Amino acid sequence: MNQNNNNNIPAEKNLVGDIGFCLASGKIMILGEKVDYMYREEPNSDTDSGWRFLSNTEDEEYLDNPENSQIYSVNAVAHNDMAIIPYLKSPVGSELVRVEGTDEFEALD
């Protein structure tokens, strides 16, 4: 993730502060798709932010495979899609969807 085992490579710049970790789809972190849906649930541990990030192209079969969602730092997800940053202080229970064609998200009711 963000750990640097090679002293010659600069550490990834921290864009979000000490928010902790999250679950993110491989479609975002491996394939480079943008976050389209993000929600925050009660954290599972002291280091869990509660954030869950999806590209919204995942089908049920994809999501049922635990290999397709991994734990990442929220900072790593922010590096893949900086549009999430303004929304990261949203409270537990928040559900946000990207406004099509923009870098803005709106709350779901």
Check whether 19 has a pLDDT greater than 60: yes
Check whether 1 has a pLDDT greater than 50: no
Contacts of 26 (CB under 8 A, 6+ apart): 67, 68, 69, 70
What's the order of all strands across the beta sheet hosting 48-54? Answer: 69-73, 21-25, 48-54, 37-40, 95-98, 105-107
Mean pLDDT score, 43-57:
97
- The secondary structure of 40-74 as a DSSP string is E---SSTTEEEEEEE-S---HHHHHSGGGEEEEEH
Mean pLDDT score, 69-73:
96
The whole-angstrom separation of Cα 62 and Cα 6 is 33
* β-pairing verdict for 48-54 and 21-25: parallel
